[in-house]
């Protein structure tokens, strides 16, 4: 349960103001069909985070527990710093002309936008840290949905009212706290 809760909370907060959240806002404004957008986000996130989780588990098995905790702790501290760099997303008119429809446009765009993103890297680190791949992928996917579904349904009115600086600060504090916990575990080993 810890793996799920830490994964969901970390990703939900890290996703605030992220490029994929901006993409969700763009898709909601463009298509105005929330259910296929939500389904596309869910499928893309499950696929992307499953791959990231498998990589994380594989990576985690190569390292000793102390070294693994050190790597995860350092990566969480790096994520804390990265959180202060807000993502920007430039609008692409080709989305509205896509013959694949709203679901496939969302699926493809979200999967590609998530490659190398903070939340994907966090998924790799969390999967390396926790032995329960399913709980981590379920948690990171839940975190993505917690952050993106309200944006899809409430659109610009919701996103414009969020205190992004405060959210980024909160995310940085959470990532830094997790990083310190893992580093302390590494030192204790």
Reported as a single tens digit per residue, the pLDDT across 30-63 is 777 889 999 999 999 999 999 999 999 998 888 7
Arithmetic mean of pLDDT over the chain: 83
How confident is the model at residue 87, as a pLDDT?
52
* Tens digits of residue pLDDT in 116-126: 788 888 999 99
Asked if pLDDT for residue 172 goes beyond 70, the answer is yes
pLDDT (mean) for 131-160? 87
Q: Give me the pLDDT at residue 97, please.
A: 44
**140-164 mean pLDDT:** 80
Tell me the domain boundaries of the chain.
2-95+102-188
Give the pLDDT score at 96: 47
Would you say residue 89 has pLDDT above 50?
no
pLDDT at 149 over 60: yes
Q: Model pTM? A: 0.73
Is residue 93's pLDDT more than 50?
A: no
Q: What is the mean pLDDT of residues 159-175?
A: 68
- Write out the DSSP string of 45-93: HHHHHHHHHHHHHHHHHHS-HHHHHHHHHHHHHHHHHHTTS-------G
Q: What is the DSSP string of 102-142?
A: HHHHHHHHHHHHHTT-HHHHHHHHHHHH-S-HHHHHHHHHH
Q: For residue 88, report the phi and psi dihedrals to the nearest 5 degrees.
A: -125, 150
pLDDT above 80 (res 8): yes
pLDDT above 80: residue 21: yes
């Amino acid at each position: 349960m810890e793996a799920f809760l830490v994964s969901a909370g970390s990703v939900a907060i890290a996703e605030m103001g992220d490029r994929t959240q901006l993409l969700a806002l763009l898709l909601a404004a463009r298509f105005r069909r929330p259910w296929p957008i939500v389904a596309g986000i869910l499928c893309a996130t499950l696929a992307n985070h499953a791959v990231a989780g498998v990589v994380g588990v594989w990576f985690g098995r190569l390292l000793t527990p102390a070294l693994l905790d050190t790597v995860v702790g350092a990566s969480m501290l790096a994520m804390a710093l990265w959180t202060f760099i807000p993502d920007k997303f430039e609008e692409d008119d080709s989305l509205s002309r896509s013959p694949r429809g709203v679901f496939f446009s969302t699926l493809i765009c979200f999967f590609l936008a998530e490659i190398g993103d903070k939340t994907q890297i966090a998924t790799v680190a969390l999967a390396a840290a926790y032995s329960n791949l399913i709980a981590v992928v379920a948690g990171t996917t839940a975190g993505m949905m917690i952050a993106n579904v309200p944006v899809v349904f409430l659109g610009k009115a919701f996103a414009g009212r969020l205190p992004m600086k405060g959210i980024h600060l909160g995310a940085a504090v959470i990532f830094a706290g997790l990083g310190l916990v893992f580093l302390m575990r590494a030192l204790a080993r």
